[in-house]
A and B are shown apart, each in its own frame.
Chain A
Amino acid sequence: AQSVTQPDIHITVSEGASLELRCNYSYGATPYLFWYVQSPGQGLQLLLKYFSGDTLVQGIKGFEAEFKRSQSSFNLRKPSVHWSDAAEYFCAVGNSGGYQKVTFGIGTKLQVIP
């Protein structure tokens, strides 16, 4: 069965500092990987996704993520965090086809301090 581990429940960074959110997955084949962001009381918005090809993917809001098959990881990065990046971030793994079974991690809540 597919699964996702986000080992950090809370992370605090200073505005302007770099950010890396960790994600490890378990999947039997080549995974489809996603990062979503959720502001308080809102739905989830897709930041970026990986299906194949270049293992470094660029997303919205200046985020990027790198797929490392050998480590079963898909870590999210941003070189300089803005106060508006404070939110909860979810890593997810899924499959393609008529029904997309997407499994989410428990999320990492990001706090940005001045």
Chain B
Amino acid sequence: SQTIHQWPATLVQPVGSPLSLECTVEGTSNPNLYWYRQAAGRGLQLLFYSVGIGQISSEVPQNLSASRPQDRQFILSSKKLLLSDSGFYLCAWSSGRTTGELFFGEGSRLTVL
């Protein structure tokens, strides 16, 4: 069966520090990968998606970047965090052969102080 792992679960970082959140999918190959950010009262905002290794698309301009160094690995990064980067970050995957269903990781809570 397929599983998705996301870490760290919780992170507290000072403003201006770097960030790296990692997501790994197991049990499938060539998944579509996504990073969402969830803010209270604002639902889920799609940040990045990837349909293959090294292929990253950004949905909104921001202080973050994403990379996909391996087929089932998706990394969210920042060189210098802002207060506004605080939030709950969710990684998800989907299969190109299915019809839109997303499978989510457990999320990473980032607090920037």
Contact = CB atoms under 8 A, between A and B. Distances in A.
A100 B107 contact: no
A41 B43 contact: no
Contacts, number: 65
Given A98-B32, A99-B32, A102-B100, A43 B105 contact: yes
How many A residues are at the interface, by size bracket?
A: 20 to 34
B113 interface: no
Contacts of B101: 34, 46, 49, 100
Given A9-B41, A104-B43, A99 B49 contact: yes
Nearest to B39: A106
Interface string B56-76: 000000000000000000000
A26 B2 CA distance: 31
Interface in A39-53: 41-46, 49, 51
B99 interface: yes
A32 B99 contact: yes
Given A90-B43, A98-B96, A105-B43, A43 B49 contact: no
Nearest to A94: B100
20 contacts: A32-B99, A34-B102, A36-B104, A43-B90, A43-B105, A44-B102, A44-B104, A51-B99, A90-B43, A95-B100, A96-B99, A96-B100, A99-B96, A100-B94, A100-B102, A101-B46, A102-B46, A104-B44, A106-B42, A106-B43
Interface of B: 6, 32, 41-44, 46, 49, 51, 90, 92, 94, 96, 99-107, 109
Given A41-B107, A43-B92, A44-B44, 15 more contacts: A9-B41, A32-B100, A34-B100, A34-B101, A43-B90, A43-B106, A46-B101, A49-B101, A96-B99, A98-B96, A99-B32, A101-B46, A101-B49, A102-B46, A102-B102
